[in-house]
Amino acid sequence: MRGILLSVVLAGAFAIAAPTTRTAAAVTTVPAISAATSPVFALQVPDKQVEITVNDRGSVRWYRSPIWIALAAFGGIIILLLIILAVRGGGTTIIKD
Determine the Cα–Cα distance for residues 78 and 84; give it in Å rounded to an integer. 10
Supply the pLDDT for residue 73.
Answer: 96
- d(C-alpha 7, C-alpha 1), whole Å: 10
Q: Domain map of the chain by residue range?
A: 63-89
Per-position b or e across 16-36, b if 16+ CB within 10 A of its CB: eeeeeeeeeeeeeeeeeeeee
State the pTM of this model. 0.36
3-state secondary structure of 46: coil
10-residue mean pLDDT profile of the chain (97 residues): values are 77 74 60 59 71 70 84 96 86 73
Contact at 8 Å (CB) between 68 and 62?
A: yes
* pLDDT reported for residue 70: 94
What is the pLDDT, as a whole number, of residue 22? 60
